[in-house]
Structure 1
Amino acid sequence: MTTVLDRYFEIVNSADNGHSALEGLRDIFAENVLLMHSGEMVQGRDMAVDFHRGQAAKWKESKHHWTASVEGDGSIVGKWSQAGLDLRENGCSGSGNVSVSLDSNGLISRLHLSLTGGSDRARVLIAKHLEVWMIQDAAERAKAMEHIYTEDIKVMEPEDVFAGRHVINDYISVVQRQAPPLSGRVVSHFQNKEFIHWSWDFGFPGNRRALGSEVLHLNGDLIEKIVIFSAHSDVFTDGTR
C-alpha cells in the first residue's frame, strides 16, 4: 500500500529534476504542518516547502531510500537514508528514523526525520544535540541525553552556567515552557578536531528572532561542554532564571 510518506519521498527525490517539483509538497502538507528535520524545525506549509528548497539546493544530486509502515493509530513510521554528491561533488550521506502524523483530511500534520548517522559527523552530532532540546517528556529526554552528553556536561550561556545532565534536563523543561521556538535552523557548521562551531537562527512568537552560535567540545562521540554566543540570548532565556 502506498502511503503519504511514500509520496513525500517521491516528491523530494524529484527535486533533482527541478526544485519546482517540491511545490507538490503543498498537496500533502497540512497548513500548519510541523516539520522536524535533522534537528532543525519549522512550522507552516510555506516554511516547510521553503525548507525543502533550501535542502535540495545543497546537493548536486541525491536520492532517498526509505521504508514505511502504518501503525495502529494511523501514524506512519520508517527508516530513511539519503546519498549523493554535494555542490563540490563530494560524496555525502545521511540516515535516520522518520515518523508521520496525519490530520483528519489525511494530510501530514507532523513530520519528524531524525538524523542518526551520516558522512558528516559534526552535523550528526549537532542534530542529536538539537533533538534533545525538542523532546517534551523529561524521562525520555534523560535517556536521549545519555547518548549525546557526558554525565558532567556543562552549558555555558553568556550569563549562566549549568552543569550535569540532571540540572540541564530540568533547565530544558523550563526553556520549553517559557520560550518555545517556532523555528530553528542550522546556518553553518565547522569541525576542528574535538571542537565543533555552529551557527543558529531561531524564531519565536511575536516576530522575535535570536541569532547566535555555539562551540561544542567533544569527548569521543559525546559532548562535554557547550559554549553559547549570542547578542539575543534574552529572547529565549527571559523568565527562565
Structure 2
Amino acid sequence: MTTVLDRYFEIVNSADNGHAALEDLRDIFAENVLLMHSGEMVQGRELAVAFHQDQAAKWQESKHQWTASVDAANSITGKWTQAGLDLQGNGCSGIGHVSVSLDSDGLIAHLHLSLTGGSDQARVLIAKHLEVWMIPDAAERAKAMEGVYTEDIKLMEPEDVIAGRDVINDYISVVQRKAPPLSARLVSHFQNKEFIHWSWDFGFPGNKRALGSEVLHLKGDLIERVVIFSADSDVFTEGTR
C-alpha cells in the first residue's frame, strides 16, 4: 500500500529533474504543516515547500531510500537514507528516522525527519544538538542529552553561563514554556578540528527574529561547550530569567 510518506519521498527525489517538481508537495502538506528536518524547523505549507527547494539547491544530485509503516490511522513511521553529490561534486550521505502525523483530510500535519548519521559529522551533531532543544519531555530530553553533551557541558550565552546537563535540561524547559521558537534555520557550518562554527536564523512569536552563531567545542564525539554570539540575545532569552 502506498502511503503519503511514500508520495513525499517520491516528490523529493524528483527534484533532480528541476525544483519545480517540489511544488507538488503542496498537494500533500496541510496548510499549517509543522516540518522538523535534521534539527531545522518551519511551519506552514509555503515555508515547508521553500525549505525543500533550498535543500535541493545544495545538491548536484541525490536520491532517498526509505521504509514506511502505518502505525495507526493518522500516523506513519519509517527510516530514510539520502546519498548523492554536493555542489562541489563530493559524495554525501545521511540517515535517520521519520514520523508523520496526518490531519482529518489525510494531509501531512507534522513531518519529522531526524538526522542520526551521515558523511558530514559536524552537521549530524548540530542536528542532534537542535533536536535536544525541541524534545518536550524532560526525562526523554535528559536521555538524549547523554548522547550529545558531556556531563559538565557549559552553555555560554552573551549575558550568562549555564553549566551541567541537569541544569541546562531545566533551562530548556523554561525556554520552551516562555520563549519557544517558531522556526529554526541553519545558515552555514564549518568544522576545524574539535571546533564547529555554525550560524542560525530563529523566528519567535510577535514576528521577532534572532540571528546569531555558535561555536561548539567538542570532547571526543560530545559537545563540551556551546558559545553563543548574537546581537539579538534579548529575543531568545526574554522572560527566561
Taking structure 2 as the reference length, the TM-score comes to: 0.99
Match of 2:146 in 1: 146
Q: Which residue of 2 aligns with 1:48?
A: 48
What's the % identity of the aligned pairs?
A: 84
The Cα shift of 1:15 comes to 0.4
Q: Deviations over 1:186-223 (max 9, x none)?
A: 00000000000000000111111000000000011100
Residue in 2 aligned with 1:240?
Answer: 240
| Structure 2 CA distance for aligned equivalents of residues 3 and 73 of structure 1 | 11
The letter of the residue matching 1:54 is D
After superposition, the C-alpha distances for 1:133-170 in whole angstroms (9 at most, x for unaligned) are 00000000000000000001000000110000100000
Three-state SS of the structure 1 residue aligned to 2:127 is helix
Match of 1:116 in 2: 116
What amino acid is aligned across from residue 66 of structure 2 in structure 1?
A: W
CA distance in 2: counterparts of 1:29 and 1:70, whole angstroms: 18
Amino acid at match of 2:189: H
Stretches of structure 2 that go unaligned for 5 or more consecutive residues are none
Superposed, which structure 2 residues align to 1:1-241 within 5 Å? 1-241=1-241
- Corresponding pairs, count: 241
Do the aligned partners of 2:74 and 2:103 also contact (CA within 8 Å) in 1?
no
- 1:86 partner amino acid: D
Distance 1:72 1:45 in 2: 24
**Distance in 2 of aligned mates of 1:14 and 1:211:** 32
Deviation, structure 1 residue 182: 1.0
* Residue identity in the other structure for 1:136: P
Q: CA deviation at 1:72?
A: 2.9
- Aligned alpha-carbon RMSD (Å): 0.6
Partner Cα separation in structure 2 for residue 72 and residue 226 of structure 1: 39
TM superposition shift of 1:30:
0.2
Q: State the shift of 1:73 in Å.
A: 4.9
Q: 1 CA distance for matches of 2:172 and 2:112?
A: 20
SS at match of 1:134: coil
Indicate the SS of the match to 1:206: coil
The answer to whether the 8 A contact 2:68-2:77 is kept is: yes
Q: TM-score, normalised by structure 1?
A: 0.99
CA distance in 1, matches of 2:157, 2:109: 34
